[in-house]
Structure 1
Amino acid sequence: MLLVATALVAAVLMSFTPSVAPHAGAAVVAQTWSDEFDGAAGRAPDAAKWTLETGGSGFGNHELQYYTNSTSNAALDGQGNLVITARKNTDAGLGCWYGQCQYTSARLNTAKTFTQAYGRFEARIKIPRGQGIWPAFWMLGNDLGSVGWPNSGEIDIMENIGREPNTVHGTVHGPGYSGAGGLGAAYSLPGGRAFADDFHVFAVDWSPNSLVWSVDGTTYKTLTPADTGGNKWVFDHPFFVILNLAVGGDWPGSPDASTSFPQTMTVDYVRASSASAPAARPMRGIGGMCVDVAGGSDADRTPIQLHDCTGSAAQQWTIGGDGTVRALGKCLDVAGGSTADGAVVQLYTCNGTNAQKWTYTAARDLTNTGAGKCLDAKGNSSADGTRLQTWTCTGAANQKWTVG
């Protein structure tokens, strides 16, 4: 959902999932915000949660609708849903960027009431249909007013354009990858079914080093900082949530004779959850020795070794929901992203690459995603100072790790 930052500021004034064993200190998900849209039919959305934007500026996309704060465009249906309705305009007094407005609709945001960095954001929505119809569930950075778009970042969890009834899009926009250069992917329902025929759950799981999109629990795209082509990863601060139903615009094009009105976007719920930080714990290997950052240094390229267990911070590790294994604020890393046997394992600034993604299994293997090889104590040794490396998984004792 592309936009011109100045217009929005005025309006709002405002995959990888590791197979982590239960004892590995995996993050616990807790709901932090939701709207279930319970209430009497015809009631306006909860003003303690949502701000209704108004105006017909085109919102940077030459959209044709005027957004109102009227319950004729956004209201509860009395059955636990919010209904956003796009209608043909009958008010001659509503002016849009192109003249008298042809359509009205609604756009809601949480800029004043709820922002959050990281976690899961999901909504269960039945979208509308028709040429020129453009429903969206998305997020913008809370620093929009100070840094502008796209530097503030944009996460489009779900967008659909009416000429593609079978397909939705998940996209991010940031500096150097905005507009038509946004990064993301499309997801199509199997069997050619239309999204407008039923409710579907659209979600993004957001961690410091990844964004993972899904529809009805099926993951279809994962992005990491490595995918920005060297441009800044701006998804490191709180964002707010937006629901809207646009009509026309540069991407979907205008409605035509085949498009019927009114069209409705029906939202069963919107929910946000936050993954609490996993507990930091020791990792023990062969001979009961602890995985240790040599010398307790947090410098990039510090070797990882076995050491007598001391309980120091250099031996406290977290296995995160994004697949990283961290100590001293940095990540367990395979040097140079090597896939060779004997590759050095080191501490390095977290960068979202597969050299820093690990899977901890019920068999107590710690496997590097990039190489498909196991964390290994060199030479099958349990001596103090034994360096760690990656090696073809053998099931041997020097490749088994106990967390906690």
Structure 2
Amino acid sequence: MSDPRRTVRRAAVAMAAMLATAASITVVTRADAAVPTAPAGMTTVFSDDFTGASGTGVNTTNWRYSTGTGYPGGAANWGTGEIETMTSSTANVYQDGTGNLAIKPIRDAAGNWTSGRIETQRTDFAAPAGGRMRIESRISQPNVTGAAAAGYWPAFWALGDAARPVGATNWPSIGELDILENVNGRPSVFAALHCGTNPGGPCNESTGLGSGERACTGCLGNFHTYAIEYDRSTSPEQLRWYLDGVNYFTLNSTVVDATTWNNATHHGFFVILNVAMGGGFPAAFGGGPTAATQSGVPMLVDYVAVYQSSGSSPTTPPPSGTGRDAYSVIEAESYNAASGVSLETSSEGGQNVSYIANGDWLQYDNVDFGTGGVKDFVARVASGAATGVSGLVEVRIDSRSNAPIGSFALGGTGGWQTWQSIPGNMSNVSGKHTVFVTFTSGQSADFVNLNWFQFRR
């Protein structure tokens, strides 16, 4: 499913030839099945079997409703051109009393569409370094075909955790994993990774790096399992997509540069289920909805589960080899991985990191603090943010989820190239570590540019 930085989703998608599935696909019509036990070597970290009473909403401990026509502060029409209004009404999103969740798009007498979109409360579903993560669901695609299906766009997908605080305005750099998409009642499934920059970039946005259209015999109105597995125990790392347990599409991390891959995958995700109506993707396959489109055909979801294996380390390990000297200037643009930022020419020479807002981060591998004795750190920053827009520049080590060991607050400096060297308090640290510079703000607007930083004894 597309995300709000796009204005048109997959308008450039070419009509792909239907591909015969290599393995036989068994049509499974049973309406309810138990959540499967975790695959070998993995544990279940999240599941919902949707066993609530008929007509009830979702368990809001597990899920949150995304309503309206876009995220607050995000692009209109969810960034995809879709036309429905998402609601939390049990007319659109409800448990059916037989072990399933239903998401039902409805057209009213005036021709307006409503539907449903739910997202996991948790945003920390991740593959640890050296480990694996699997996101799986058993779904019956809406049982509608032909002209009656024009504009239907059911989806099961996941977004990088940094999307949530900023209305996904940092899409696609933070990563999107499309596990199941279908359009216009075609007997098929699409899968994709979205990453990098939009338009174009290393991930061919807004199309993404996709499977193309794959045959999904009997998937309309019948239950099948759809899953993605992110494997960081292999070299190169892999994303693998499965239909009824058959691996039908794989991407290796070498398909893009390391920074783009890491930005898109080396973090938590949240899971999304929705049925959109209209937009760029259905438009690439005939358009819709039209007056002939049938109202009220639901996508049914039997369960959602997330599995995870342990890795070689629960945090980002410092790389081997020659380290960076913590006590020399570290140029901001020399990061090993990053999320949500851009580079621009600095008035002080070279480049600086720009367009930094809440939730963005920079990663610097193998920073050597020696035997310690750190007193503070100083960063060369500039800000042309409006009055009232401010934030924190923070330093964390080994994991972005660890507590900051240093920070300072920043308001405007008088301009985006008006540089100041600002010190921050710092806890003592020794040895080699992966350093994360993270940025936190109560506002969604950009609030800082960073040119360089260093630690001081």
Contact between 1:51 and 1:109, CA under 8 Å: does it hold in 2?
yes
Partner of 1:265 in structure 2? 299
Partner of 1:245 in structure 2? 275
- Where does structure 1 lack aligned partners over 5 or more consecutive residues? 8-25, 93-100, 280-296, 301-328, 330-404
Query: Which of 222, 227, 249 lines up with 1:203 in the alignment?
Result: 227
Report the CA distance shift for 1:238/1:109 in structure 2 as closer, same or farther (over 3 A): same
CA distance in 1, matches of 2:276, 2:156: 11
Partner of 1:45 in structure 2? 58
Partner of 1:33 in structure 2? 46
Alignment-mate amino acid for residue 277 of structure 1:
G
Query: Which of 64, 72, 83 lines up with 1:64 in the alignment?
Result: 83
Partner of 2:187 in structure 1? 166
CA distance in 2, matches of 1:27, 1:133: 36
Contact between 1:55 and 1:67, CA under 8 Å: does it hold in 2?
yes
Cα offset for 1:277? 2.8
Alignment-mate amino acid for residue 177 of structure 2:
I
Cα offset for 1:259? 2.1
Contact between 2:6 and 2:79, CA under 8 Å: does it hold in 1?
no
Contact between 1:171 and 1:183, CA under 8 Å: does it hold in 2?
yes
Contact between 2:153 and 2:278, CA under 8 Å: does it hold in 1?
yes
Contact between 1:189 and 1:195, CA under 8 Å: does it hold in 2?
no
CA distance in 2, matches of 1:211, 1:5: 23
CA distance in 1, matches of 2:105, 2:272: 16
CA distance in 2, matches of 1:181, 1:133: 18
Alignment-mate amino acid for residue 221 of structure 1:
F
SS of 1:58's partner is: helix
Cα offset for 1:210? 1.2
Alignment of 1:347-366 (within 5 A): none
1:348-370 per-residue CA deviation (whole Å, 9 max, x = no partner) reads: xxxxxxxxxxxxxxxxxxxxxxx
Partner of 2:119 in structure 1? 109
Partner of 1:183 in structure 2? 209
Query: Which of 233, 236, 260 lines up with 1:232 in the alignment?
Result: 260
Report the CA distance shift for 1:178/1:133 in structure 2 as closer, same or farther (over 3 A): same
Cα offset for 1:140? 0.4
Query: How many residue pairs align between the two structures?
Result: 253
The structure whose residues are more often helix, as a share, is: 1
1:170-211 per-residue CA deviation (whole Å, 9 max, x = no partner) reads: 101111215344002035346xx3421311100000123111
Cα offset for 1:106? 0.2
Report the CA distance shift for 1:4/1:30 in structure 2 as closer, same or farther (over 3 A): same
Report the CA distance shift for 1:181/1:188 in structure 2 as closer, same or farther (over 3 A): closer
CA distance in 2, matches of 1:226, 1:173: 15
CA distance in 2, matches of 1:58, 1:298: 46
Alignment-mate amino acid for residue 60 of structure 1:
G
1:62-103 per-residue CA deviation (whole Å, 9 max, x = no partner) reads: 11100001010000000000000000035x7xxxxxxxx710
Alignment-mate amino acid for residue 80 of structure 2:
N
Report the CA distance shift for 1:46/1:135 in structure 2 as closer, same or farther (over 3 A): same
SS of 1:251's partner is: helix
Partner of 1:140 in structure 2? 159
Cα offset for 1:250? 1.3
Contact between 1:2 and 1:179, CA under 8 Å: does it hold in 2?
no
Alignment of 1:198-347 (within 5 A): 198-208=222-232, 209-228=237-256, 232-233=260-261, 234-252=264-282, 253-277=287-311, 298-299=320-321
1:325-368 per-residue CA deviation (whole Å, 9 max, x = no partner) reads: xxxx9xxxxxxxxxxxxxxxxxxxxxxxxxxxxxxxxxxxxxxx
TM-score, normalised with respect to structure 2: 0.52
Alignment-mate amino acid for residue 150 of structure 1:
P
- State the structure with more CA Rg: 1
1:259-292 per-residue CA deviation (whole Å, 9 max, x = no partner) reads: 211110000000000012379xxxxxxxxxxxxx
Contact between 1:167 and 1:186, CA under 8 Å: does it hold in 2?
no
SS of 2:79's partner is: coil
Q: RMSD across aligned C-alpha pairs, in angstroms?
A: 2.6
Alignment-mate amino acid for residue 72 of structure 1:
A
Contact between 2:6 and 2:80, CA under 8 Å: does it hold in 1?
no
Alignment-mate amino acid for residue 138 of structure 2:
R
CA distance in 1, matches of 2:176, 2:91: 28
Cα offset for 1:115? 2.5
Alignment of 1:81-160 (within 5 A): 81-90=100-109, 102-110=112-120, 112-118=121-127, 119-128=133-142, 129=144, 130-144=149-163, 145=165, 148-160=170-182
- Where does structure 2 lack aligned partners over 5 or more consecutive residues? 8-38, 70-75, 128-132, 314-318, 323-365, 367-457
CA distance in 2, matches of 1:202, 1:272: 12
Alignment-mate amino acid for residue 182 of structure 1:
G
SS of 1:149's partner is: coil
Alignment-mate amino acid for residue 239 of structure 1:
F
CA distance in 1, matches of 2:79, 2:123: 24
Contact between 1:27 and 1:278, CA under 8 Å: does it hold in 2?
no
Cα offset for 1:247? 0.5
Cα offset for 1:107? 0.2
CA distance in 2, matches of 1:89, 1:257: 12
Contact between 2:124 and 2:267, CA under 8 Å: does it hold in 1?
no
Percent of pairs identical after alignment? Answer: 35
SS of 1:80's partner is: coil
TM-score, normalised with respect to structure 1: 0.58
Contact between 1:29 and 1:275, CA under 8 Å: does it hold in 2?
yes
Partner of 1:18 in structure 2? none
CA distance in 2, matches of 1:265, 1:82: 8
